[in-house]
């Protein structure tokens, strides 16, 4: 398309040769197409504006920043095709017109021309309050119902943190609170955007010890199931706290415990699984004196997760409970009678990895309480071996098949199985 050609020309090796008049023309061209009915055209228009802004940042900001902010504000309220309020019942991403496109354009401007935003907003003034309209718009979007809007807004915050941190200066605490909420978002893409922005924020507004509201969510995401989120959170944690991680967690143990326990009850099974892994890590790595008053609370949370409908959560809780018993044998002894039936039940689970985890957990419990559980372990093993020996072979199903080798044995078996009414 013509937009695509223009974008490549503006962003290629010759973008430094882009004249101011051509840049103005391209900005106007892209601006007009931000409201196109075809989403592909709108996306290409955003890329074109970003390419022009990378070469002529001040010009692009003067032409587009105020316009884009106005369009975002106008689009925050959901509208129908007839420009009336929309009733409840629509999907979270429906009914917002071109709001996502304008937020994406705002993100692009912050990303490629962020260093010039201070001058564009304040016109040379130094009062940080002059940047409040931009921040008000972004904060409205950070909590928006549409996940794509939230994602781009977090990325815009990260770009401002990296390229023009003075714009955020007056609302650093609000940014930290918003990032902590984004790190706990139910959508992985939003979590990832918040994690990227958190890294930029902590790099420019550190140290991490000043922003304790972000520590627990960031720490939990190191075990999140989505690989991008997990790796970014690990990188951010390493860069932000360095070798002081254990010390920070111990100093704010109550905050971490409360957050992990709350997340173990999340609607998202991946979050519950990560919370169990984090609770296990607390027992293994954090100084015991910092956790003594929280052991009962943590074991209760793990016991609840042990009954979860999701087997990965049960698997994580199974291992975490055993780890706590190993690290705190005296404090955990009162919970043994409640936990043992669960470990024993999971030894016979139909998921192989759950059985393996339960086996390793029972081994840890045996090391912690050899005299207490020896008889139970020996009885379970002996009963299991006897049951295996006495187990009858399954000779009734498909008994009409010959046991002799034959060229069509596999095909015949498949036909019998495909037509088996009991399956």
DSSP type of residue 98: T
pLDDT, averaged across the chain: 83
Q: What pLDDT is recorded for position 392?
A: 72
Q: Per-residue pLDDT tens for 56-91?
A: 888 888 888 888 888 888 888 766 554 555 545 566
C-alpha angle 202-207-212 in degrees, rounded to nearest 5: 80
Q: What pLDDT is recorded for position 67?
A: 87
Name the percent of the chain lying above pLDDT 70.
80
Instruction: Give the model's confidence band at 1: pLDDT under 50 very low, under 70 low, under 90 confident, else very high.
Output: low
Structure tokens, 3: 């937009």
Angstrom distance (rounded) from CA 140 to CA 136: 6
* Partners of 85 in beta bridges: 79
Angstrom distance (rounded) from CA 311 to CA 304: 13
Alpha helix ranges (H) inside 98-163: 99-113, 117-122, 132-142, 147-163
pLDDT at 95 over 80: no
pLDDT at 130 over 50: no
135: Cα within 13 Å, side-chain hemisphere: 21
Ranking 138-152, 158-172, 222-236 by mean pLDDT, the lowest is 158-172
DSSP for 308-369, written as a single string: -SSHHHHHHHHHHHHHHHHH-HHHHGGGHHHHHHHHHHHTT-SSHHHHHHHHHHHHHHHHHS
The residue behind tokens 């559980």 is 373
Q: What pLDDT is recorded for position 2?
A: 53
Q: Per-residue pLDDT tens for 262-282?
A: 999 999 999 999 999 999 999
Q: Per-residue pLDDT tens for 351-388?
A: 899 999 999 999 999 999 998 889 998 998 888 888 87
Instruction: Give the model's confidence band at 126: pLDDT under 50 very low, under 70 low, under 90 confident, else very high.
Output: very low
Q: Which residues contact 332 (CB under 8 A, 6 or more apart)?
A: 295, 299, 324, 325, 368
Entry pTM: 0.80
User: Is the peptide bond between 231 and the residue preceding it cis, with omega within 30 degrees of 0?
Assistant: no
Q: What is the mean pLDDT of residues 220-249?
A: 93
């Amino acid at each position: 398309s013509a937009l695509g050609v223009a974008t490549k020309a503006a962003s290629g090796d010759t973008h430094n040769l882009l004249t101011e008049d051509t840049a103005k023309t391209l900005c106007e061209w892209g601006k007009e197409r931000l409201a196109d009915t075809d989403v592909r055209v709108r996306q290409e228009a955003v890329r074109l504006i970003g390419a022009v802004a990378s070469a002529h940042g001040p010009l692009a900001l003067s032409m587009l920043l105020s316009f884009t902010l106005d369009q975002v504000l106008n689009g925050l309220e959901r509208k129908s095709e007839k420009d009336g309020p929309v009733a409840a019942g629509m999907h979270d991403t429906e009914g917002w017109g071109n709001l996502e496109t304008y937020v994406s354009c705002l993100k692009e401007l912050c990303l490629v021309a962020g260093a010039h935003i201070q001058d564009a907003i304040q016109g040379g003034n130094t009062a940080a309050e002059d940047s409040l309209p931009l921040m008000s718009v972004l904060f409205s979007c950070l909590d928006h119902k549409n996940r794509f809007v939230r994602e781009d807004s977090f990325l815009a915050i990260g770009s401002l943190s990296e390229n023009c941190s003075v714009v955020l200066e007056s609302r650093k605490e609000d940014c930290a609170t918003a990032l902590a909420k984004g790190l706990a978002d139910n959508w992985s893409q939003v979590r990832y955007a918040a994690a990227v922005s958190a890294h930029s924020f902590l790099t420019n507004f550190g140290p991490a010890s000043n922003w304790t509201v972000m520590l627990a969510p960031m720490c939990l995401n190191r075990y999140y199931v989505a690989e991008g989120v997990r790796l970014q959170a690990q990188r951010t944690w390493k860069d932000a706290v360095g070798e002081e991680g254990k010390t920070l967690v111990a100093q704010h143990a109550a905050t971490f415990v409360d957050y992990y326990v709350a997340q173990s009850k999340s609607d998202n099974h991946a979050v519950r699984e990560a919370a169990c892994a984090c609770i296990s890590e607390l027992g293994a790595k954090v100084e015991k004196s910092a956790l003594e008053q929280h052991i009962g609370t943590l074991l209760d949370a793990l016991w609840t997760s042990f009954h979860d409908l999701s087997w990965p959560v049960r698997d994580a809780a199974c291992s975490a409970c055993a780890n706590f018993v190993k690290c705190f044998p005296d404090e955990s002894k009162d919970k043994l009678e409640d936990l043992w039936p669960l470990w024993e039940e999971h030894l016979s689970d139909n998921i192989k990895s759950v059985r393996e985890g339960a086996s390793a957990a029972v081994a840890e419990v045996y090391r912690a309480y050899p005299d207490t559980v020896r008889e139970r372990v020996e009885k379970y093993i002996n009963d299991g071996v006897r049951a295996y020996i006495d187990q009858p072979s399954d000779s009734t199903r498909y008994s009409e098949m010959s046991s002799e080798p034959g060229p069509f044995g596999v095909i015949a078996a498949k036909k019998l199985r495909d037509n088996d009414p009991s399956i």
